Amino acid sequence: MTPAELAQALKEQARQLGFTLAGITSPDPPMHYESYQRWVQAGFHGEMAYLADERALERRADPRRILPECRSILVVGMPYHPPLDPRPKGSLPRGRVAAYAVGVDYHLVIPPRLQQLVEFLEAQTGQSIPNRYYTDTGPLLERDLAQRAGLGWIGKNTCLISPKSGSYFLLGEILLGLELPADRPFVSDHCGTCTRCIEACPTGCIRPDRTLDARQCISYLTIENKGDIPLELRPKLGEWVFGCDICQMVCPWNRRFGQHEVDSVFQPRAGLPFPVIAEELSLTPQAFNRKFKDSPLKRTKRRGYQRNLAVAAANSGEKSLQPILEAASQSHDEPLVSRHANWAAKNLKK
């Protein structure tokens, strides 16, 4: 095979493995690195120290610092189900979980398939190929790489948007010690004058330079934030108990192109994406671990999840949740949950 034929075969193999988007770019330094540096220096990363770590910053500046032999990068996108809307009618008070998190954790799905792509390349070339692969875990500016690989543009909501698929997909990257022809970068900006995502964000975390202040983002507050949710932001979380889809739900590109044929591993598990608040607040540690085995929700741990549920309970305005909140405020084994349940119980009395 010629390098061009090999690149085409690799992208076709990626599509067969469920990556509906696939493109190749060079390992040149990312275009938006200086913007990323300014973002970190401003403290917009919040408590996500791994984003500001000096070594990680250096590696994000140049993919070759991760893999010195790197000569090309494959970037792929795997779709997930768009958010369900609305919640079940006539149901008990419920929270809401971001659409990407309703099935199996993608960190358990994507890396083995990236490994399969490496094995495919090695079988085609008859040689071992130096490589590193990641999905949301490596020191890479992955949306920058995806744009350069032709997959789409970075929208005002900071998501990568494909003109044919919207933004409901998960990214993966393989750094390859093999030279393959790069695809044309995606240079057009199809957000235009639209500001729906900015206007819809309850906390106003989306900044005008296509970055966001993570410290105010609902996804950050419900997942990455391990401590107390700031009092002034709690009412703005609404029913979200893990992540948030609002800025994607209002995007015209998702309304038009956001429906996908999705891998069965991402099928919603029982009770999601609208978990019953009273039931979830009663989960023991053992029940939580059983229920969310191999789920992204394990990231918050039980205490973070039930902290979020308490806030959602207050925001629901459902007086029927008062007893369970009062019980949690007095006897929950996690002080973090007790504090938020106490706040929620008092707010429900108002």
| 126: number of Cβ within 10 Å | 6
Find where tokens 């090309």 sit: 72
Ramachandran quadrant class, 46 (left: phi over 0; alpha: psi -120 to 50; beta: rest): left
Here the tokens at position 36 are 């990323």
Q: What is the DSSP letter of 147?
A: H
For residues 172 and 133, the answer to whether their CB atoms sit within 8 Å is yes
Active-site residue identified among 28, 85, 136, 228: 136
- From the list 318, 299, 282, the residue with the least C-alpha distance to 94 is 318
Buried b vs exposed e over 157-193: b needs ≥16 C-beta within 10 Å? bbbbbbeebbbbbbbbbbbbbbebebbebbeeeebee
Cα–Cα dist 77/146, whole Å = 9
Buried b vs exposed e over 62-84: b needs ≥16 C-beta within 10 Å? ebeebbeebbbbbbbbbbbbbbe
183 counts as catalytic: no
Buried b vs exposed e over 325-346: b needs ≥16 C-beta within 10 Å? bbebbeebebebbbbbbbbbbe
Find where tokens 């022809």 sit: 181
- Catalytic center residues: 136
